């Protein structure tokens, strides 16, 4: 959800910066559907790259979690999970790919839904008055 909200805020910022271009397209005779598809492609590009990079970094971090913690402990010269304080001295990590796929699809649907809403909001709010102001 943090990823989805950051993508949505990026898309809203892009659309607010492009409001002048949207008005020019409207004045040239572009329909709402064309504007919608243009910004939907923007959001799809951001979603796909974000999902690819976010999932790959997350899977690599969880796959090498033990070695990351060991390197962190050696770097700071402290023991994160001392054996005299905790029953276990490691964090068990198991990657369940069906959960990963479920999270990816949920984020994809959430971002598409929210970006579609924001695109409709910008298109509905758009008018020639914003060029003059």
Name residues whose C-beta falls within 8 Å of residue 8's C-beta, 6 or more positions apart in sequence: 111, 114, 115, 118
Q: Look over the chain and give the mean of its residue pLDDT values, rounded to a whole number.
A: 79
29-79 confidence digits (pLDDT tens)? 878 888 888 888 888 888 888 889 989 998 999 889 888 888 888 898 887
Q: Residue 4: pLDDT above 50?
A: yes
For residues 2 and 56, what is the distance between their CA atoms, to the nearest angstrom? 17
For residues 83 and 81, what is the distance between their CA atoms, to the nearest angstrom? 6
Longest dimension (CA), the chain: 73
7-16 confidence digits (pLDDT tens)? 677 777 777 7
């Amino acid at each position: 959800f943090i990823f989805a909200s950051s993508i949505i805020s990026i898309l809203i910022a892009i659309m607010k910066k492009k409001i002048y271009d949207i008005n020019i397209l409207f004045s040239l005779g572009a329909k709402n559907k064309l504007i919608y598809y243009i910004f939907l492609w923007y959001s799809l590009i951001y979603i796909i790259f974000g999902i690819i990079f976010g999932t790959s970094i997350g899977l690599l971090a969880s796959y090498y979690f033990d070695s990351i913690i060991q390197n962190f402990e050696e770097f700071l010269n402290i023991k994160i999970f001392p054996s005299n304080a905790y029953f276990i001295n490691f964090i068990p990590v198991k990657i369940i790919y069906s959960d990963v796929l479920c999270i990816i699809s949920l984020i994809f649907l959430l971002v598409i839904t929210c970006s579609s809403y924001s695109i409709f909001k910008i298109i509905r709010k758009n008018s020639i008055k914003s060029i003059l102001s």
